[in-house]
Amino acid sequence: MKTKTVDELMEEIRELESSEIYGAVYEAIKLKNKGLGSDIVDEDLVFLTRNPRLMLEFNVLANGLKIVYSGDTVKRWHASDLYDFLQNLYYAQTKIKDPKRIHTKRFNRNKFIKTYNIQERLISQGYYFDEEKEPDKATLKFYKKLKKVKWSSNAKKTNKKIKQVFDKINKKFGTDYVEMKKLIDHIITYLAASNAVNEERNKISSEDVKLAYETLLKLLETDIESVGEYEKKTEEEMIKELEELGEYKGKSFFQLLDKWKNKTLKGLGLSSIDLKRDG
């Protein structure tokens, strides 16, 4: 597709200053930072620790459960920040559409963990994430290529120019400026790099950067509940998908599962949870 010019994108970004949804995302971040509206429940954790794409993001991009990271362009936290942004967007959209719903016990930011399709679509389809077709499944090959992607000099210049406008807008929203700046920076890197890999390139181009910003702007205006969902999967079905991924650094992803599950539990301050129920 023919991307918009840098000037056109900067003008659209400036309009976010008066955007209802962008302001609502900021409010969602503030609430989450205070620990409100982000409870993890059993069935969410089943999906969280059984999702093939999450397994690849949190293992391959993190060099396999290590604390020390390499100097790669795309890192594990870029993936988790896209996920975090989607949580906040879901909360913000729900608050605008149905304010009473977010105060009910049935509402949970993590609902889209079970309908993870939106992130699948963003990574495999980019700007066309809302098209009615099943997105590509996560593969080890994709994430190995993603780890090797680098910035081109032109892409860096393009990103710097657009980012300056985004940063000015974010500062005007107040105290959570740094958090939003980080999320936007990481999302753009992740989307741009994914587009490069999908087009069989190992360098991010200026077009990749512009398309990443276009995708983010489009995402803000898209009702993410209206984008296609996965059919509900049982734990057994999710484990089968993990087994089909093969292995990484001599260990199958199924073998890595318990280790990652325990890290997840520890991070959430939990000691154990029943992972045998359906997701």
Residue 72 to residues 23, 69, 190, 194: CA-CA distances in angstroms? Answer: 32, 8, 12, 14
- Segments making up each domain of the chain, as ranges: 6-237
Pairing of strands 251-252, 247-248: antiparallel
Whether the per-residue pLDDT at 88 is higher than 60: the answer is yes
What would the mean pLDDT of 1-16 be, rounded to a whole number?
91
- According to the per-residue pLDDT averaged within each range, which of 21-35, 185-199, 263-277 is highest? 185-199
Q: What are the pLDDT digits (tens) for 97-153?
A: 887 777 655 556 555 555 557 888 899 999 999 988 878 888 888 988 998 899 999
Helices marked H in 98-139: 117-125
CA distances from 219 to 71, 116, 187, 226 (A): 29, 15, 12, 12
Q: Is 103 exposed, middle or buried (0-12, 13-18, 19+ CB in 10 A)?
A: exposed
The two three-digit tokens of residue 142, written as one number: 């994709």
The C-alpha atoms of residue 114 and residue 47 are separated, in whole angstroms, by 6
- What is the pTM for the complete model shown? 0.84
**Higher model confidence: residue 198 or residue 233?**
198
Reported as type and span, the H/E element at residue 178 is helix 177-198
Distance of CA 160 to the CA centre of its chain: 21
